[in-house]
Amino acid sequence: MKRDKRRTFAATTVLIAPFVILLAALAAAGPSLREWGQKRQHGGEPQSIDINLYTFWTDRDLGDCAIFGFKLDRFERELVTRTKDLFGLSVRSVPIRIHLYHNHDELERFLKRTTSWKGDFTHNGGYYNPAGSEIAIEMTGDEREDISGLFHEVTHALFNLSAERARWSPWVAEGVATWLARSEIGPEGAVRLGGIDHRFLAINREGPLPLREFLEADHSQFTTAQNRYYYAQAHLLFAFLVERHRDRLAAYLKSEMSGVKVGPATFESTFGPIPDIEKEFADFVKSLN
């Protein structure tokens, strides 16, 4: 009988917890959400909503933005606190503006209008603009994927704001962002940082890139129609290094933060001969389910 009561209690907790998160998020948003609602009654144009140190520009539902703001705040606090040995991120004081768009055309129009970068946005669903501490992202309607995309872009923002002198190699910037994008916020607010995206695992197994050439890839390789292979390898390489060589990875990241451009030579002096690491990396990928 006691076991049944505990089960009932546990089941009730699971059902109630999401509503607790929503209420906490709405409370955190405070007057900004009420003001947003009043503005939305007079026009229909996207309005700004301030939630903690995030300003959302959107015409999405209040609850969506409240949940996003709550989860981003939890993610950021845990990331700064629990990865001091690895990233050494600073507590942020600069607000981040986040523009949420419903389709890719809206996103592209905004990016072409507001950024100086002339690259191709066709194959990317989000962008962080350091000039204005601003994020623009395409919403999918899938809450799990949308928060994952926000974790990804907020990671770029935090790394830029914490280490402005850094010259991040593209594989590092995208590797850490895609790894942290798989973080999860539990029903009671517990945070699991990082994780493997098995879609990238399937892509990498189609054809892994030669490691030395991959380490030298520039940002343009992450914007082409073939960018999935670069994102997949960056994601898995970072996951491999953080799991198998965390201390060495921390040392390597300090080199990237120094303001001096690093490449395969620095990678090799930190982790060992590239052929050896490449084999160990391949074995790691094979071991993943």
- pLDDT at res. 59: 76
Dihedral pair phi/psi, residue 117, rounded to 5°: -70, 130
The mean pLDDT of the chain is: 84
Q: What are 171-183's pLDDT values in tens digits?
A: 999 999 999 999 9
Q: What mean pLDDT is predicted for residues 207-224?
A: 93
Q: How far is CA 3 from CA 10, 11, 134, 154, 257, in A?
A: 10, 12, 51, 43, 53
Burial class for 248, CB neighbours closer than 10 Å (0-12, 13-18, 19+)? middle
Q: Which residues are within 8 A (CB) of 120 and not within 5 positions of it... i.e. 6 or more apart?
A: 223, 224
Tokens 């001096």 appear where?
260
pLDDT band at 13 (very low <50, low <70, confident <90, very high): very low
Q: What are 43-95's pLDDT values in tens digits?
A: 346 778 899 899 999 876 667 888 899 999 999 999 999 999 999 998 899 99
SS (H, E, C) 14-26: HHHHHHHHHHHHH
**Joined tokens for residue 39:** 């503005």
